[in-house]
């Protein structure tokens, strides 16, 4: 089955969880590649330099197929995994969560840490606006002026977005079209030269 859309967050959001004097500040960010995640984590470490831990996890890709979870000094599996688990529960992708921990002097134990990182992440995600993004495919069209009306009609019928256009001796247009419409659009375009 072809995936038509995915859930992600519209913009940054924050959450907090407190347990036995420790504070867990959670920050969620929309991202689309691991490099963006790395830069954000570095900025969080600079901004919250006095925190004991900066744990994080992300999911990237239409189905969240690319992911990473980091414990940053917490016992293995007690921070990154619960953060990642909340991303799975919320069914969101292209999202990074960073949880900054200020140690309160009392150890929480393995189950306490798992709960704290999970709850902080859940709070941040509950404060985020979750949106559905339609998955699109891009086409580059090359056509003559005489074909302009036909091409524009096809674009409108297919709910495509024009990303770029150039009208010279030959008209060139790059469009993004919902994946569900792409095959039919491609068939209707066959009389015209196109590259996909």
**Model confidence at 190, in pLDDT bands (50, 70, 90)?**
confident
pLDDT in tens, 96-122: 999 999 998 889 999 999 999 999 999
Residue 188, SS3? Answer: helix
Q: pTM for the full model?
A: 0.80
Instruction: Return the structure tokens found at 85.
Output: 């688990």
Share of the chain above pLDDT 70, in %: 96
Q: Do 5-132 and 136-195 share a fold?
A: no
Handedness of CA 30, 34, 35, 40 (dihedral sign): positive
> What does the domain layout of the chain look like in residue ranges?
5-132, 136-195
Beta-carbon contacts of residue 110 (< 8 Å; ≥ 6 apart) = 75, 78
First-residue to last-residue Cα distance in the chain:
21
Nearest to 155 by CA among 124, 127, 177, 138: 177
Domain 5-132 has CATH 3.30.230.30: yes
Selected residue with higher pLDDT from 54 and 151: 54
Lowest mean pLDDT among 93-97, 117-121, 159-163: 159-163
Q: Which numeric CATH code is attached to 136-195?
A: 3.30.70.240
- Long-range (24+ apart) CB contacts under 8 A made by 144-153 are 144/170, 144/171, 145/171, 147/171, 147/192, 150/192, 151/192
């Amino acid at each position: 089955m072809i995936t038509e859309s995915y859930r992600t967050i519209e913009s940054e959001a924050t959450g907090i969880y407190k347990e036995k004097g420790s504070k867990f500040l959670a920050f969620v960010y929309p991202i689309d590649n691991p490099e963006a995640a790395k830069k954000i984590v570095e900025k969080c470490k600079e901004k919250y330099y006095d925190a004991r831990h900066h744990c994080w996890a992300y999911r990237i890709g239409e189905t969240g197929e690319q992911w990473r979870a980091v414990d940053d000094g917490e016992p293995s599996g007690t921070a990154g995994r619960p953060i990642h688990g909340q991303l799975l529960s919320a069914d969101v992708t292209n999202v990074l969560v960073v949880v900054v921990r200020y140690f309160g002097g009392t150890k929480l134990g393995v189950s306490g840490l798992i709960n704290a990182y999970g709850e902080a992440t859940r709070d941040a995600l509950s404060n985020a606006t979750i949106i559905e993004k339609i998955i699109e495919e891009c086409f580059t069209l090359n056509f003559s002026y005489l074909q302009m009306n036909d091409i524009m009609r096809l674009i409108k019928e297919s709910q495509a977005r024009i990303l770029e256009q150039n009208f010279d001796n030959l008209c060139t247009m790059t469009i993004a079209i919902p994946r569900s419409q792409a095959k039919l659009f491609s068939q209707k375009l066959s009389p015209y030269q196109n590259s996909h």
